[in-house]
Amino acid sequence: MVETVLEVHNLVKDYGSFRAVDNLSFSLPKGKIVGFLGPNGAGKTTTIQILLGITSATSGKISYFGKDFIKNRSDCLQRINFSSAFNDLLGRITVYENLVVFAHLYGLKNPKKKIYELLDHFEITSIAHIKYLDLSTGQKTRVNFAKALINDPEILLMDEPTASLDPDIADKTLSMIEDLKKSRELSILYTSHNMDEITRICDEVIILDHGRIVAQDTPLGLTKMIPTAQVRLTFDNTKKVVEEYLDKHEFTYEFESAHSVLIDTEEKLIPKLIFGISKTDIWITDIDVIKSSLEDVFLHIARRKKT
C-alpha cells in the first residue's frame, strides 16, 4: 500500500462571499509529484498558502504524516519546505547569510556543512558570499532550491517555480525537480498553469477550476478523457480520390492543402483508418497522429462547464 504523506479533507476558503477553495479533498502519496493545474484564480496558490499555514482555512482538515497540521504546526513544518517564483530571499545579505538564517530556523546542528553540501550540489559554491540581490535569475533559482532543501524535507510544496523564468532556465529547473524526486524520494505538490510542465513531471494531476477539483488522474489518463484524435495525412493523389474514400466511410475531415487532410476520428479507430486507406489507390507520403493534450482536456472541461 502506498504511504500517504499529506491528506486534505473538505478544505474550504471563503473571502467574504467569494469562495476561493471549494470543498477540496486529495492526498499526496510518498515519492510522487502531484500537480495542481488551473487558470489564474483557480485556487492553486490559496490552497498552497493554507497548506503552509500562512493563510487560514474557513473549514476542512489538513494532516501531514498522519498528524493534524493545526495542532502540530511546528512539527509538520520541520519536515516540509516551500519554493515559489513569487518569493525571494533578503537581497541585501549574502547567499550564505540567507541560508544560515534558514539553517537555524530548522534547527540544523552543523549549518555550515549542510549549506556547502547544497551549494556544491547545485554548483553555486562560488556565489556563497555574493549578495542575493546581485545574482542572475538562474542563480537565484538555484539558491531558492538550496533553501528549499536545507532541512532535508520529505514534502516540497512548489508554487509555479518556473513562472517568470526564461525557457532554458525553466527547463533546467524542471530537470532539477526530476533529479530531486529520484534522488531523495521527495513528495512534491506542484502548482502551475503550464500544461507541458505538468505533463512532463507529474505522476498525478488535479485540475482545479473556481476552487473545485474538476478532474483528477494521471496525465495520460486525463488525456484519454477526450476519446477523439486527429490524423494528418499527406498524399500524392488528387484530392478527389481521398475525398471519395473519406465520404464513403463517413469521416469528418478538412483539407489543409491540395495534398494534406486533417481527419477527426476516435483514437481507437486510427489503425482501422490507416489500414483502410492503405488498401486503396491513395499513395500516402506522411501520417501524423495528433492526440489530445492536457491543454485540450482543460479546455474541454472548461467548455463543458460553460454549456
- Considering only residues 9, 61, 67, 73, which one is a binding residue for another protein as defined by CB under 8 A? 73
225 vs 235: CA distance, rounded Å: 31
Interaction between residue 54 and another protein (CB under 8 A): yes
- Considering only residues 92, 268, 279, 306, which one is a binding residue for another protein as defined by CB under 8 A? 92
- Considering only residues 6, 8, 77, 169, which one is a binding residue for another protein as defined by CB under 8 A? 77
Interaction between residue 104 and another protein (CB under 8 A): yes
Q: Which residues pair with 156 in a beta bridge?
A: 81, 188
Stretch that binds another protein, among 62-70, 88-96, 199-207, 297-305 (CB under 8 A): 88-96
- Considering only residues 68, 70, 86, 164, which one is a binding residue for another protein as defined by CB under 8 A? 86
Residues whose CB falls within 8 Å of the CB of residue 216, separated by 6 or more in sequence, listed in order: 26, 204, 205, 206, 207
CB of 169 vs another protein, minimal distance in Å: 18
Applying the rule CB under 8 A, the residues between 145 and 164 that interact with another protein are 147, 151
Of the candidates 13, 14, 26, the residue with the CA atom closest to the CA atom of residue 191: 26
Q: Where are the beta strands (DSSP E) in 74-152?
A: 80-84
Interaction between residue 97 and another protein (CB under 8 A): yes
CB of 55 vs another protein, minimal distance in Å: 5
Applying the rule CB under 8 A, the residues between 5 and 44 that interact with another protein are 15
- Considering only residues 1, 17, 107, 168, which one is a binding residue for another protein as defined by CB under 8 A? 107
Of the candidates 100, 179, 187, 201, the residue with the CA atom closest to the CA atom of residue 147: 100
Q: Where are the beta strands (DSSP E) in the chain?
A: 4-15, 18-29, 33-37, 59-64, 67-68, 80-84, 155-159, 187-192, 204-209, 212-217, 228-235, 252-257, 260-266, 284-290
Q: Cell 477550476 appears where?
A: 209
177 vs 171: CA distance, rounded Å: 10
| Total residues at interface with another protein (CB under 8 A) | 38
Which positions lie near another protein, rule CB under 8 A? 15, 46, 49, 52-56, 73-75, 77-78, 80-82, 84, 86-94, 97, 100-107, 131, 147, 151
